[in-house]
Structure 1
Amino acid sequence: MAPLQIVVLALVQGITEFLPVSSSGHLALVPLLTEWPDQGLKIDVAVHVGTLLAVMLYFWRDLGLMLGGAGRLVVGQGGPGARLVWHLILATIPVVIAGFLMKDLIESGLRSLEVIAWATLGFGILLGLADRVGMTVRRVEHMTWGGALFLGLAQVLALIPGTSRSGITMTAARFLGYERPEAARFSMLMSIPTIMAAGVLLGLDLYRLDDWTITRDALIAAFLAFLSALLAVAVMMAWLRRAGFMPFVAYRVLLGLGLLALAYGVVEV
């Protein structure tokens, strides 16, 4: 891959991964709107791993709570950390199963401009609806088994490019009445086991491939994505403590309409 392509892909991923605007949709758009070849799932997963490191650093207190909770579970004890671990496990199971069953479809059939456009528009409007009607009374500490499963099932929809994993889980959390920063917090914590599993599979693929060029590109992309994601998370969390999701909704609607015009030949690049 050309150095410019690596930089663009990493920055796009880092900035959009935890914003409710669909990182995978933006990544799929890059080769569609340029002459660059599709970067493939290996680079996609590499930049996701970079953003994983960013969210783990930003939420280091929650990560410590989870590690302590996992240790307590091993010895048969409970507590807030143990409950959080169980909730994240439950929220992860649906997307793991769906991702395994739909791998071929995701890698080929769903990465089209039409799918991205409709998902960007439709799920953006749904986020706006959830933010308007949802109460703001719950925190992550109030999560229930049913709530975690509901968010996990919502996360399955993020396998459709353009949906936004963070966007759909924040939408589900807002419908359940979670405060805006808390909806974003649990959504990002949900990303840890999901992206970690994908990263392990990527590492195994790169090891078997034994191609230093691809491995080098993946490492560079992951590092750049880490830096940009850390900044994007900090900015978004600061915004959500004072305001709502409507700027993201407006962006998605405008982007979705523009992509539909492009997909159906109303305008040309």
Structure 2
Amino acid sequence: MGWFEALVLGLVQGLTEFLPISSSAHLRIVAALVGWDDPGAAFTAVTQIGTELAVILYFGKKIGRILQAWFFSLYRRSWRRDPDARLGWLIIVGSIPIVVLGLLLQDQIDEAFRDLRITASTLIVFGVILLIADRVGSQRRSLDHLTVPHGLGFGFAQALALIPGVSRSGGTTSAGLLMGYTRADAAEYSFLLALPAVFGSGLYKLTDIGKNGETAQWGPTILATLVAFGVGYVVIAWLMSYIKRKSFVPFVIYRIVLGLLLFGLIIGGVLDPNAGPVGS
């Protein structure tokens, strides 16, 4: 992987991580379209650390309150009723599904799930699910109403994002809307829930950079991560403002069109569904 390729993929990661359109799908598609090797699951996991650092910067005060309250709740009974402490525990609960499934399905994540036909299918299917959730969700609940079952519901939706095309933010936000949460609160919990999973995955994959057939080397990966951080912060600030006023319909349309276009390119023989495999 060259420096220009890393710059482009860092921009793609930053632009798409928080939008409900799947950053992993876009990294995979862009690389395939221009003839680059698949950047690989390790590169995707590590560059996502950059976008999650943007989450920490944007929600810094709230995250600080959550960490403080959660820590005090470990040994002070009175703090266990604090809303921020409770949210901290529910973030841990919601992180369990992706940790378990991520370890169990590691080989499929690195190989089988990266087939572009799967990516095209999930873009369309989960785009339709997002549309339904946006239309039928009551949007009456705030994070103060979050329960353990709801936290696990968010968590299983996040775990589906192990498949490129699902979208971490899209899947978890859809789940939140279907459970009656507002767009802003569903998105906020989605971003906070991603922190343990993304940092855990990124750190776990650090040792794979430049090894095991991965095309990405350390220098370009660091550049892509820094670019993803800067662009991601701008995108998250814009999105949190946007969803308080408007619906997810434009993203649904984009997902379906992109999925159909991808199928068309594959069926027409323009694009190999396994184009640019790692180590090719």
Which of the five TM-score ranges fits, normalised by the shorter chain?
over 0.9
Shift, 1:99, TM fit: 0.5
Say whether residues 1:148 and 2:151 are aligned partners.
Answer: yes
Q: Which amino acid aligns with 1:48?
A: Q
2:140 to 118, 133, 137: 137
Pick the aligned partner of 1:220 from 214, 218, 223: 223
The alpha carbon displacement at 1:29 in A equals 1.1
Is 1:121 matched up with 2:124? yes
Residues 206 and 37 (structure 1), Cα distance of their counterparts in 2 relative to 1, 3 Å cut:
closer
Q: In the alignment, what sits opposite 1:83? A: 86
How do 1:246-257 and structure 2 match up within 5 A? 246-257=249-260
Residue 31 of structure 1 is matched in structure 2 by: 31
| Residues 29 and 113, structure 1, Cα contact 8 Å, conserved in 2 | yes
What CA deviation, in whole Å up to 9, does each residue of 1:37-93 have, x standing for no partner?
121222212210000100111111221122112211221431112101111111110
Alpha carbons of 1:142 and 1:196: their partners in 2 closer, same or farther (altered >3 Å)? same
The structural deviation recorded for 1:177 is 0.8
Q: What residue ranges of structure 1 are gaps of 5+ in the alignment? A: none
| One-letter amino acid of the structure 1 residue matched with residue 72 of structure 2 | R
Match status 1:233 vs 2:247? no
- CA distance in 2 between counterparts of 1:67 and 1:150 reads 22
Give, in angstroms, the shift of residue 97 of structure 1. Answer: 0.3
Unpaired segments of 5 or more residues in structure 2? 273-280
For 1:1-269, what aligned pairs fall within 5 Å after superposition?
1-77=1-77, 78=80, 79-205=82-208, 214-265=217-268
Question: Residue 205 and residue 114 in structure 1: after superposition, are their counterparts in 2 closer, same or farther (change >3 A)?
Answer: closer
| Contact 1:9/1:221, CA 8 A, preserved across alignment | yes
Deviates more, 1:33-42 or 1:250-259: 33-42
**1:219 & 1:137 partners in 2: Cα distance?**
41
Q: Secondary structure at the match of 2:113?
A: coil
Q: Are the aligned partners of 2:70 and 2:86 in contact in 1 as well (CA < 8 Å)? A: no
1:149 partner SS = helix
**Per-residue deviation, residues 80-124 of structure 1 (Å, max 9, x unmatched):** 121011111111100100000000011011101100000000100
State the AA in 2 paired with 1:60.
Answer: G
SS at match of 2:112: coil
Identity value in percent: 39
**Coordinate RMSD, CA, aligned:** 1.9
Assess, with a 3 A threshold, how the Cα gap between structure 1 residues 228 and 84 changes in structure 2: closer, same or farther.
Answer: same
SS in 2 for 1:229: helix
CA contact (8 A) 1:32 1:113 kept: no
Per-residue Cα deviation, 1:181-228 (whole angstroms, up to 9, x for no partner) = 11110100111000110122134555999xxx8222221111000001
- Report the TM-score when normalising by structure 1: 0.94
Question: Post-superposition shift, 1:267?
Answer: 6.2
1:159 deviation in Å?
Answer: 1.2
What SS class does the counterpart of residue 110 from structure 1 fall into? helix
TM-score scaled by structure 2? 0.90
User: Who is 2:277 aligned against?
Assistant: none
Alignment check: 8 A CA contact 1:69 1:84 kept? no
What is the CA–CA distance in structure 2 between the aligned matches of 1:30 and 1:266, rounded to whole Å?
17
